[in-house]
């Protein structure tokens, strides 16, 4: 008889690999099937931020804070550095009305133990001397952090492989059969059928396609993000940066009127983070455009104009790459982390939209605890597929 695995993970992005890491750590035998190379999806076409300040108080902020602590430990536990750094973040404020909204937001977040404060114009310029003079002030949190997602994935692969993880690349899943509860037969592109007790759908923006194989309708769609990368340059300030206008608009949709229709259609909000290599990532868009990978000049142009408005000195800097990636966007904005009640053994770990890097450790850990029947540190029912009747 063919080997029966404890768990088969479908999808080799940061979420699938995090699941592999925590499951093998818990002593499970795990096979990971990836339709291309590891990290060919969103997890290598993205920024590197664990951005807490954008989160409304609630389950997502709670688990993001937990995930941050887990990254701190992973920096020690994984075989090589994941370039974890708490450089802090500033949300740059340009108008009195933005200021009012951000004041409120900061008050709510503080109540949930997020270390965040408002800075005056002078304080903000002190932390970011190159910021444009029109900026009225900013928020600041020393907790906003970053990791290098590529090194995180490499670390997960190496650590999990030493505990028996097997990986098949160029081995997409094309059929799933469930002859009995907790018995799965997974047919892959190599023509083989792999058997397991548990299956984890960690296919990011493609999760709905794999869901269809067992008749599930997962409301997850690709939300494209376009990004530019600069050459390596000295830092523009001590922290990473965001513009307040997009965050304020998310909190208060009325605010959209103060932005151009094109900015709203493309979902542009400036984010600027510097990798340890010195390159800045300038982002980004948030658009529903199917699985179309192209980057378009209009969007790139608008992102750059935003960036130069906040940091005029950027004008002289070179762009060395542009790219786009697909955020896995769930219909209600929350990831699915949990079992499918009607299909014993089937788990979903997908739909993290713009937070998959930040939430990878807690997702992998939670899935591992659920599968091995261990208690969880938080109530995950709000993130269970059951919340939408799945």
Residues that bind ligand FAD (CB under 6 A): 10-16, 33-36, 40-43, 45-49, 172-173, 202-206, 210, 225, 227, 283-284, 325-328, 350, 352-358
Nearest to 274 by CA among 318, 230, 314: 230
User: Min. distance of Cβ 178 from other proteins in angstroms?
Assistant: 31
269 vs 284 by CB, closer to ligand FAD: 284
136 vs 308 by CB, closer to other proteins: 308
User: Min. distance of Cβ 389 from other proteins in angstroms?
Assistant: 38
C-alpha distances in Å from residue 104, one per residue of 116, 252, 255 = 12, 12, 15
Q: What is the DSSP string of 139-153?
A: EEETT-EE--HHHHH
128 vs 362 by CB, closer to ligand FAD: 362
Report how far residue 232's alpha carbon sits from residue 237's, in angstroms, rounded to the nearest whole number: 14
Half-sphere exposure of 245 (CA within 13 A, CB side): 18
* Chosen from ligand FAD, other proteins, none, partner binding at 49 (C-beta under 5 to 8 Å by type): ligand FAD
154 vs 352 by CB, closer to other proteins: 154
Q: What is the DSSP letter of 312?
A: G
Contact 80, 151 (CB under 8 A): yes
User: Min. distance of Cβ 186 from ligand FAD in angstroms?
Assistant: 9
153 vs 358 by CB, closer to other proteins: 153
* Chosen from other proteins, ligand FAD, none, partner binding at 192 (C-beta under 5 to 8 Å by type): none
- Residues facing 176 on adjacent strands: 186
Nearest to 197 by CA among 4, 1, 2: 4
Report how far residue 52's alpha carbon sits from residue 141's, in angstroms, rounded to the nearest whole number: 8
* Chosen from ligand FAD, other proteins, none, partner binding at 300 (C-beta under 5 to 8 Å by type): other proteins
User: Min. distance of Cβ 309 from ligand FAD in angstroms?
Assistant: 20
User: Min. distance of Cβ 85 from ligand FAD in angstroms?
Assistant: 13
Torsion of CA 382, 386, 387, 388, to 10 degrees: 150
Report how far residue 189's alpha carbon sits from residue 172's, in angstroms, rounded to the nearest whole number: 5
Contact 330, 336 (CB under 8 A): yes
User: Min. distance of Cβ 357 from other proteins in angstroms?
Assistant: 14
* Chosen from other proteins, ligand FAD, none, partner binding at 350 (C-beta under 5 to 8 Å by type): ligand FAD
118 vs 317 by CB, closer to other proteins: 317
* Chosen from other proteins, ligand FAD, none, partner binding at 10 (C-beta under 5 to 8 Å by type): ligand FAD
Could you tell me how far CA 168 lies from the centroid of its own chain? 24
* Chosen from ligand FAD, other proteins, none, partner binding at 321 (C-beta under 5 to 8 Å by type): other proteins
């Amino acid at each position: 008889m063919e080997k029966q695995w404890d768990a088969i993970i479908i999808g080799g992005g940061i979420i699938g690999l995090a699941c592999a890491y925590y499951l093998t750590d818990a002593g499970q035998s795990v096979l990971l099937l990836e339709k291309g190379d590891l990290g060919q999806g969103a997890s290598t076409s993205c920024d590197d931020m664990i951005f807490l300040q954008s989160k409304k108080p609630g389950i997502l902020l709670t688990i993001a804070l937990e995930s941050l602590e887990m990254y701190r430990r992973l920096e020690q536990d994984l075989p090589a550095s994941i370039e974890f750094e708490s450089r802090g973040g500033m949300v740059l404020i340009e108008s009195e009305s933005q200021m009012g909204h951000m004041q409120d937001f900061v008050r709510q977040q503080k109540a949930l133990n997020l270390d965040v404060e408002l800075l005056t114009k002078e304080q903000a310029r002190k932390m970011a001397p190159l910021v444009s003079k029109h900026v009225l002030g900013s928020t600041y949190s020393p907790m906003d952090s970053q990791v290098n997602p590529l090194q995180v994935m490499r670390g997960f692969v190496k650590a999990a492989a030493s505990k028996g993880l097997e990986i098949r690349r160029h081995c997409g899943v094309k059929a799933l059969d469930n002859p009995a509860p907790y018995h799965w037969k997974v047919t892959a592109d190599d023509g083989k059928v792999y058997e397991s007790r548990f299956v984890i759908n960690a296919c990011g923006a493609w999760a709905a396609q794999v869901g269809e194989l067992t008749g599930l309708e997962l409301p997850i769609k690709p939300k494209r993000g376009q990004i530019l990368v600069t050459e390596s340059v000295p830092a523009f300030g001590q922290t990473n940066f965001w513009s307040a206008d997009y965050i304020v608009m998310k909190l208060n949709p009325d605010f959209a009127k103060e932005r151009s229709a094109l900015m709203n259609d493309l979902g542009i909000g400036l984010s600027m983070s510097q990798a340890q290599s010195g390159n800045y990532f300038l982002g980004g868009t948030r658009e529903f455009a199917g699985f179309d990978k192209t980057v378009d000049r209009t969007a790139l142009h608008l992102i750059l104009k935003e960036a130069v408005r906040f940091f005029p000195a950027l004008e002289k800097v070179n762009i060395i790459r542009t790219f786009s990636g697909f955020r896995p966007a769930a219909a209600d904005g929350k990831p699915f982390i949990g079992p499918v009640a009607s299909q014993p053994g089937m788990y979903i770990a997908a739909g993290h939209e713009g937070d998959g890097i930040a939430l990878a450790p807690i997702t992998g850990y939670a899935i591992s605890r659920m599968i091995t029947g261990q208690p969880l540190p938080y109530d995950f029912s709000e993130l269970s597929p059951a919340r939408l009747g799945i």
